[in-house]
Chain A
Amino acid sequence: DVKVTQSSRYLVKRTGEKVFLECVQDMDHENMFWYRQDPGLGLRLIYFSYDVKMKEKGDIPEGYSVSREKKERFSLILESASTNQTSMYLCASRGDGETQYFGPGTRLLVL
């Protein structure tokens, strides 16, 4: 079974803090994705990576950056957290097939 894990299930941060969200997959997948999910807006792609040290912007990259130093790990960074970044953050990975497998999600609250 594919396993995607995320570093935290719940996180509370203050405005202006730098926030790190980590995602690890154990299936040697090349492709990894970060989404945020908000009521009424669905899943929106922030960034994705198709290889180590490679990254591509998704639909809403502003205010975020990513890092992929190792194949199994994909980190999302909020450089200076703002209240409008309060959301559920979902990491996903995909191998040679087309199915994306999701981690459990991190619910982030920015005060």
Chain B
Amino acid sequence: QKEVEQNSGPLSVPEGAIASLNCTYSDRGSQSFFWYRQYSGKSPELIMSIYSNGDKEDGRFTAQLNKASQYVSLLIRDSQPSDSATYLCAVNTGNQFYFGTGTSLTVIP
């Protein structure tokens, strides 16, 4: 079983819609969780980090964490074509980061 699992997609949403990206993790002791965005040919850039159960909002992005169910999600409101990218979920377990394989998102104008 992989440490971090994501639906690889591709996920397509129309411009202005809400995009929902999901991630599950296997280690119950994981304490910190991250969402990175990666444009094609570029390196990952951090969008959000979340450490506590519940929601964390930053502009159009909301990260949701449920430790009991071992999942973390990212909602993108009012999706824009510039949001088209691969989104990586990362989980910090001990001293190591584990990354999911990413979900490809396309926002259709």
Chain A interface residues (CB < 8 Å from chain B):
33, 40-43, 45, 48, 50, 58, 90, 98-105
Contact = CB atoms under 8 A, between A and B. Distances in A.
A90 B43 contact: yes
B92 interface: yes
Contacts, number: 39
A104 B49 contact: no
> Which 6 pairs across A and B sit closest by C-beta, in order of nearness?
A42-B101, A43-B99, A102-B43, A105-B43, A98-B32, A102-B44
A45 B97 contact: yes
B43 A40 contact: no
A103 B92 CA distance: 19
A42 B43 contact: no
Contacts of B25: none
A92 to B, nearest CB: 8
B46 A101 contact: yes
